[in-house]
Structure 1
Amino acid sequence: MTFLLKRKFIICMFTFNIVFVIILYSFLQTEKMATYSYMKKLTYSVIIREFEEYDNDVSQTVHHIHEVLGIHVPIYIVTDKRTYPPLNISNDHIRGTFVLDFEMDRKRITDAEILDAITSDLIIFVPDGARIQNKTVFNRLIDDFNLAKFSKAFALKTNINGLMCPGMQINVQRWRMTITDFDGSEGLCDYIEGDQAILLRTETLSELPSPWTIPLTKSLYMQFVIRRWKSFVYTPLVFVPRITFRNPKSTEIFKYEQKKREDKLYRKFNIKEVVHKINAEHENSMYYGCDRETERCFTSVINNIPDFLYRGKWTPPCCLRALQETSEHVFKVFSNASVRHWLEGGSLLGAARIRDLIPWDTSVDIGIYQEDIPKCRHLVKTGNYEFVDEKGFLWEKAEEGEFYKVEMYLHQTM
C-alpha cells in the first residue's frame, strides 16, 4: 500500500513539473515576442518647423542631418508662409515643404494632408541650427523611446542650458493656464521649458487638434496637458549646442516676434489668463484678450445669457477683473459724493458666499437711494447724456426705468 502511494506521488510530481515547464516556456516566449515587438526598428522623419526668414541656418541643418544620419532620412519643412528670401535647399535634399497660410493662387494644405505625407513611425522636431553628436547616440535614442511606456514624447536639450520641468494646468472652463514649480514624478513632465528637440510618434501628433501651431513646444505641451499626457526629459546628450543667430540684432527681433506668436497662441487656444505660481503664497497673472481697446470678451447675448455660458465656460478672468475694477471705481465715486450704496442680487450672494464675484457673473448690481442721485455729478450728467469720466469709464442711463450702467471700456459692454 505504501509503495503504491509513493508511486502515485512520484507520478503526480513528474506531471506537475512537466506542466510547469510548459507554462514557463510559453511565458518566456510571450515575453520574448513582446520584447521583440518593442525592439522592432522604428522609422523616423525630421521636421524643421521654426526658423526666421531674416536669419536662419536651415540649409546647413539639413545638410548636417543627412551627413550624420544618412541621405535616406526624410526631412520636411513646415512654414507659415513662403519664405523670402527663398531657402537655399534643393528638392533632392528634402522630402517636402508645406506652407500653412492661405494664398489665393494655391490650394491650402490641411494638417491631415501633411500627416498623410509623413509615413514614418516617429517624428522628431529639430530646431533650426541643431547639430547631432553622432549616429550611434541618435540610434540609442530611438531604441530608448521604443521601450518607453508612459511618456508621449522625449525632450532633448539642444543648447548649453538644461531643460526645466514646471507643472502646467489648464482650466478650459475658466480660460486659465497655471504654470507652477516642478510637480512631476519619475522624470515625467507636464511641460518642458528650454531649447529642445521633441521626439514623438506620428500617431500621437495626428491626435492633436493643432499640431503645427507655434511657438511649437508650448503649443504641443498645452495640448498634451489637456489630454493628461506626460513627456520625459531625455538626459543623454544627443545634440551639441546649436548655432544661434549670426546677426546680434536678430536676437532682439526674435524676442519681439516670439512674444507676438505667444499672444496669438493664447488667443487661438482661448487662454485669457496665464498664472505663474512662484510659491504657495505668491503668483503673477498675465491677461490676454481684454483691454480698453479690444472688443468685448464674448460675442452675442441672448436672453441675458452670454454665448460662453452656453458653451460651458465661465466669465473670462480678464472680464471679471474689469468688473472688479469698474465696481471699485463706482464705489469710490459714490463714497466721495456721500451716495449710500450696497450690493444686490447675485453680486451680494457672491460677496456673502465666497467674498468675490461669482465666476459666471457678467455684471455687478449696486443699489442706491433715488434721493441721493443729485449728490453725484456723474449720475446727474448721465441723466442727460452718456459721458466718459476722467478715469475713462463710460456712464449711461437705461432708456426705461431707473437704471444706470457703467462700463470700463469704450469697446466693451460689460
Structure 2
Amino acid sequence: MRVTPCQATLAAAIGLNLLLLFLLHSFSSSSSSSGQAAPGRSPLPCRPPRGLPGVTVVLRDFEEFDNDLAGTARSFSSLPGVPVLVAAETLPYPPVALPEGVDVLRLLPAADRAPPKPELHIRTRHVALVPDGTRGAPGLLERLRDELEAAADAGAVRLVAAPVGPGPLRCLQLRVEPREWTARYSLTPSGTGASATGAAGPGPCQAVEGAAVLLLRTRDLFSLPFPLSRPVPTALFVQAALRGWGLRVVTAAAFPVARRPPGSPHNRWKAANSAEERRSRLMRELGIKREVLADGGERWYGCGKDTARCFGTVHQQTPRYLLEGRWTPPCCLRALRETARHVTEVLEATGVRYWLEGGSLLGAVRLGDIIPWDYDVDLGIYREDIGKCRWLAAAEAAGGEGIEDPEGFFWEKAAEGDFYRVHYSRSNRLHVDLWPFYRRGDTMTKETWLGHRQDVEFPERYLRPRLPVAFAGFTAMAPNDPRGFLEFKFGPGAIEKPEYPNPAVKRLADG
C-alpha cells in the first residue's frame, strides 16, 4: 500500500499531539504531587485528598466572648493521631492560647487572602463536629467511626451522634418541606433516643436534642452546600433530612464535659441573643421560615408587622416563589389570615355587606382556608355600603396616602382603579382587596376590571342571601351557591381542578 504525502502529514500531526498530551499529563501529575509552584507563580489548584485513616475534630460552635476553646482543643489534640481544627469567621478575639498543632481556619473571605476552602484542610476520611466544652477520651472517636461504617453498610445512616455529658439525647424525627418553607420535628415512636437505621429511607431518628458530638464522612460533610453553618447540629440535621440520610445515636459512647462556672448574666444574655441571630441566619440560608417543634411550639423566621413581606411585586399573577417551586411562605399566609379576619370583623361591625371572591372563595370551598400558593385575599362589597365604614371612608378621603387603624392595619384606595386595599401594616404590604360592586338591573358589576379569569359580572341572586362558610380560621360570608358561583366565574370543574393563577406562566402540574 502506497502512503501519500497527505496521509504521512496527518499521521505525523496525530503523533505529535499524542506526545504533547503525554508530556502535559506528566508535568501536571508531578506538580500536584509536590504541591509546590515555581517562584513568583500562583500555586496550581489541587484536588482534596482522597482521605487518610482517622478522624479530624472540628471546633465550630463556640462564643468568642466566653468559651472553653483552649481546654477543648487541648483535650482532643492530646489524643494520638487526632488533628484538631478551629473553624471561625475570623481569628478568635480575645485571643485564645491554642495548643501547638491546632490550626485556625478563617472562613470569612478577605481580599488579600485566597478563598477559604475548608475541605482542603481536613485530610482524614472522617470528621467530628465537637461542641465547646467537650472532653476527649481514648477510643470514643474510633467507636463512633466504627458505628458509622457498620450502619452505613447496612442502610441509609450517614451520621452518628454521641451525647456530651451525663444527660441523654432525645431522638427526633424531622420532616423538611421545602415547598412550604417548613421543618417539622416530632418524637420517635418510642419517644427515646434509641439507635435506629432506616433501610428504606431515613430511620426514625433524623435529629437529636441535647449536646452531641456528630461524626460523618468528610466527603459527605463537604457535599453539603452549608457544611459549617451554625448552629452546626441544626444545619447538618436539616440538610441530611433533605437527602434522606439517617442518623444513629450511640448512647454507649458518651463524651465527658468540662466543669465550668456559670457565665455572668450579661454573657448569658449575649449568648442567647447570638444563638437566636445565628439560628435566624441559618434558616434564611436553608430557606426555612417556620419550625414546628416536637412539643407543638413554633419558631418563625419570616416577615412580620415591622418588616416587608417575603416577596416583591407580582408580575403576570405569578409570584417569584412559584417559579422557584415553592408556595406562599407560611409567615405570609399567617399575615393574610390575620388581615382577613380583621377586615371582616370591621365590615360586619359597621354593616358593610361583603362576600368571599375569586380564589379566596375557591380556598374556602376546597380547604376552608387560603389556597396555599395565593398571595392576597379578595372580598366583594356593596358599593352603597362604603360610607358605613369609617376606615373605607377615610381611605377614600386620604386619596393615595392611606390611613392606619389602631391595630396597625393600613387602609388605602388602590392606585390601579376603583377598589380598596387593607395591608397587614405600613411596612408589610400583604393585603386584602375590597372590590365595590353595584347593581345594574339583576346583575352585579363594578368599575375596575383587571382582566383576571374570574373578573366578570354575575347575577345578584348569588348574594340573596349570603351564607357563612369556614375560612382561614374564622367564619366569613360567601355567595349562597359557592359551586354555582365559582363555575359561573371560572368554568366547570373549578373546585376539583386546582391550578395556579396564570397557567400560561406556570402550571401546577409542572411542580
Q: Quote how far apart the aligned CAs of 1:42 are.
A: 3.2
Residues 1:212 and 2:228 are matched in the alignment:
yes
Whole-angstrom CA distance in 2 between matches of 1:371 and 1:128: 67
Matching residue of 1:81: 90
After TM superposition, the structure 1 = structure 2 runs for residues 181-220 of structure 1, keeping only pairs within 5 Å, are 181-183=187-189, 187-188=196-197, 189-220=205-236
Q: Percent identity?
A: 34
Match of 1:56 in 2: 67
Specify which structure has the bigger relative contact order, considering alpha-carbon pairs within 8 angstroms and separated by 6 or more residues: 1
Deviates more, 1:394-403 or 1:341-350: 394-403
1:225 counterpart = 2:245? no
Residues 300-315 of structure 1 aligned to structure 2 (within 5 Å): 300-315=313-328
C-alpha root-mean-square deviation of aligned residues, in Å? Answer: 2.1
1:367 pairs with 362, 380, 388, which one?
Answer: 380
The alpha carbon displacement at 1:328 in A equals 0.8
Alpha-carbon distance in 2 for matches of 1:199, 1:319: 37
Structure-2 separation of matches of 1:399 and 1:158: 60
For residue 101 of structure 1, what is the aligned residue in structure 2? 108
Give the counterpart letter for 1:302 in structure 2.
H
Q: How many residues align?
A: 363
Aligned counterparts of 1:61 and 1:401: Cα–Cα separation in 2: 66
Deviation at 1:301, TM superposition (A): 2.0
Per the alignment, residue 160 of structure 2 pairs with: 154
The residue that corresponds to 1:410 in the other structure is: 426
Residue 299 of structure 1 is matched in structure 2 by 312
Gaps of 5+ in 1: 1-39
Q: For structure 1, which segment, 305-314 or 283-292, has the greater mean C-alpha deviation from structure 2 after superposition?
A: 283-292
CA contact (8 A) 2:195 2:250 kept: no
Which structure carries more helix by proportion? 1
Q: Which stretch shifts more, 365-374 or 147-156?
A: 147-156
TM-aligned CA distance change 1:215 to 1:137, over 3 Å: closer
SS of the aligned residue for 1:85 comes to: coil
Of residues 258, 277, 280 in structure 2, which corresponds to 1:260? Answer: 277
2:104 corresponds to which letter in structure 1? T
Change (3 A) 1:400 1:157: closer
How far is 1:393 from its partner? 0.9
Q: 1:225 to 1:140 in 2, by over 3 A?
A: closer
Compute the displacement of 1:248 (Å): 4.0
Give the secondary-structure state (helix, strand or coil) at the position aligned to 1:146.
Answer: helix
Gaps of 5+ in 2: 1-50, 198-204, 431-511
2:297, 2:142 → 1: CA distance? 42
Match in the other structure for 2:127: 123
Q: TM-score, normalised by structure 2?
A: 0.67
Q: What's the offset of the Cα at 1:380? A: 1.1
The aligned residue for residue 169 of structure 2 is 163
Counterparts of 1:241-252 in structure 2, within 5 Å, are 241-244=257-260, 247-249=263-265, 250-252=267-269
Compute the displacement of 1:394 (Å): 0.8
Structure 1 letter corresponding to 2:380: G
Amino acid at match of 1:139: E
Aligned partner of 2:289 in structure 1 is 272
- Distance change in 2, residues 1:136/1:84 (3 Å): closer
1:352 maps to a residue whose letter is V
Alignment of 1:334-413 (within 5 A): 334-385=347-398, 386-413=402-429
